[in-house]
Every structure is written in structure tokens, then in C-alpha cells.
């Protein structure tokens, strides 16, 4: 087996606490392209993996403002310029009655946009993953899987296997590019 056909190494852990300890050691050992595949999010994992908090909230703030601006623009354009009607002498730009739609538009843009950006970010802002249709990691069942990708700048298959074993993983497997695994 040549090193180029290997896509990474996986190591199994059985509990969140084991996973957190392993992630911190992997971070400290200098691995960069590694990930933890888990059935549910683990509190403190971002820090253990050496990651900064998600930047999603900033995206949401921008989207919320876009929603507010669009709703205000539409309502003022229609009610003041394009179709000004006199409702009992009340002002055309009657801002209090524009509040509900402005609020709804803000929520719409912020919520839908955030969800789309988060799903895309989960794929793009990541390291190459073991292909889910080919490799059964058990990470959606009950395993906490350390994954070191072969794209890591310091990658060496033998070294990676030894390292994962030294973390006390309950099982270590090499994953080939085609998805085949062997212990």
C-alpha cells in the first residue's frame, strides 16, 4: 500500500470525556487537519480541538439588517411614492404600522440565511471527511471518532497510527482513498 492512496486514520473512543482528552492531546501534538466525528455535539470540544468560536453570528447580524432594510424600503416605496393613499389624513410614512412586516422580514432573512450558511460552512470550513456512504465510522451511532486526514502537512501514515494508538483509542483503522478500511 502506498502512502498516497491513504486518505486518513480513524480512532474510536466510547465516551465524550475520552474524546475531549484525545482531542486536546491531538491539538497539542501539532496535528492540524483532524476532526472528531460524534453522535452529538460535545461541550468544550471547540476548545479541545483548538478552534475559535463559530463566526456564524456575524453572518446572522448582516442578514438581519438586510431584512430590515428591504422591508423598510418596500413599504416606504409603496406607501409614500408609488401608491400614496390618504387614510383619514394619516401620514403616508406611518412607521408604526411598518413594524410588524419589518420584524418578520428580519426574522426571515436572519433565520433562513443562517441555516443555509451554517450547512454550507459545515462542509466548506472543514477538513476532508471520510465519505459517509463508503466508510461506516459509527459516529452517528455511539462512537466518538478521531479522524486525522492525510492532507495534514505533517502526515505520515505510520506515525499517525502510532499516535492514535498512544491516545488509548479502542480501535484504530487506516482509511484508503476508495473507502476501504483496515485495522
Partner 1 sequence: MTRPETSPYATVLDDRQLTGRPIVLAGAGPLGGDVEVPEPLVTGAKKWKDVDQDICLHTEQFPTRRWWIAFAVALSMVGVLGFALASLFYSGMGIAGVNQPVGWGSFIINFVFWIGIGHAGTLISAVLYLFRQQWRTGINRAAEAMTLFAVACAGIFPIIHLGRPWFAYWLVPYPNARGPLWVNFNSPLAWDIFAISTYGLVSLTFWYMGLLPDLATVRDRATHPWRRHLYNALSFGWTGSHRAWRHYESAYLILAAFATPLVFSVHTIVSFDFATSVMPGWHATIFPPYFVIGAIFSGFAMVITLMSIMRGVFNLKHYITLNHMEAMAKVLLLTGMLVGFAYSTEFFMAWYSGSEWEGFVFKNRAFGPYGWAYAIMFTCNVFVPQLFWWKSLRRHPVVLFVVSVLVNVGMYFERYVIVVTSLHRDFLPSSWGMYHFTFWDYAILIGSFGLFFTLFLLFVRVLPVVAISEVKGVMDPRVARSAPPGRQVAPLGAGEVRP
Least separation in angstroms between residue 3's CB and partner 1 is 21
Least separation in angstroms between residue 121's CB and partner 1 is 4
Give the Å distances, CA to CA, from 104 to 12, 43, 50, 74: 45, 32, 37, 13
Which range binds partner 1 by CB under 8 A, 1-9, 24-32, 99-107, 152-160? 99-107
Under the criterion CB under 8 A, does residue 89 sit at the interface with partner 1?
A: no
**Which residue intervals of the chain are DSSP H helices?**
16-28, 45-48, 56-76, 99-124, 157-166
Under the criterion CB under 8 A, does residue 1 sit at the interface with partner 1?
A: no
Under the criterion CB under 8 A, does residue 121 sit at the interface with partner 1?
A: yes
Least separation in angstroms between residue 122's CB and partner 1 is 3
The answer to whether 25 touches 13, Cβ cutoff 8 Å, is no
Name the residue among 122, 118, 109 with its Cα closest to residue 56.
118
Under the criterion CB under 8 A, does residue 139 sit at the interface with partner 1?
A: yes
Dist. CA 45–CA 119, nearest whole Å: 19
Under the criterion CB under 8 A, does residue 86 sit at the interface with partner 1?
A: no
Which range binds partner 1 by CB under 8 A, 1-9, 24-32, 78-86, 158-166? 78-86
Amino acid at each position: 500500500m502506498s502512502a498516497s492512496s491513504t486518505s486518513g486514520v480513524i480512532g474510536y473512543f466510547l465516551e465524550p470525556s475520552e474524546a475531549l482528552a484525545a482531542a486536546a492531546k491531538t491539538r497539542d501534538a501539532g496535528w492540524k487537519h483532524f476532526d472528531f466525528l460524534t453522535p452529538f455535539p460535545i461541550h468544550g470540544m471547540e476548545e479541545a480541538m483548538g478552534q475559535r468560536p463559530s463566526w456564524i453570528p456575524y453572518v446572522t447580524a448582516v442578514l438581519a439588517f438586510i431584512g430590515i432594510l428591504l422591508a423598510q424600503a418596500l413599504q416606504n416605496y409603496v406607501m409614500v411614492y408609488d401608491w400614496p393613499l390618504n387614510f383619514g389624513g394619516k401620514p403616508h410614512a406611518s412607521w408604526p404600522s411598518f413594524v410588524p412586516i419589518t420584524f418578520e422580514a428580519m426574522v426571515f432573512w436572519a433565520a433562513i440565511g443562517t441555516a443555509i450558511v451554517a450547512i454550507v460552512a459545515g462542509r466548506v470550513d472543514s477538513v476532508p471527511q471520510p465519505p459517509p456512504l463508503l466508510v461506516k465510522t459509527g459516529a452517528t451511532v455511539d462512537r466518538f471518532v478521531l479522524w486525522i486526514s492525510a492532507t495534514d502537512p505533517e502526515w505520515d501514515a505510520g506515525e499517525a497510527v502510532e499516535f492514535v494508538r498512544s491516545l488509548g483509542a479502542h480501535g484504530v483503522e487506516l482509511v484508503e482513498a476508495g473507502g476501504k478500511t483496515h485495522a
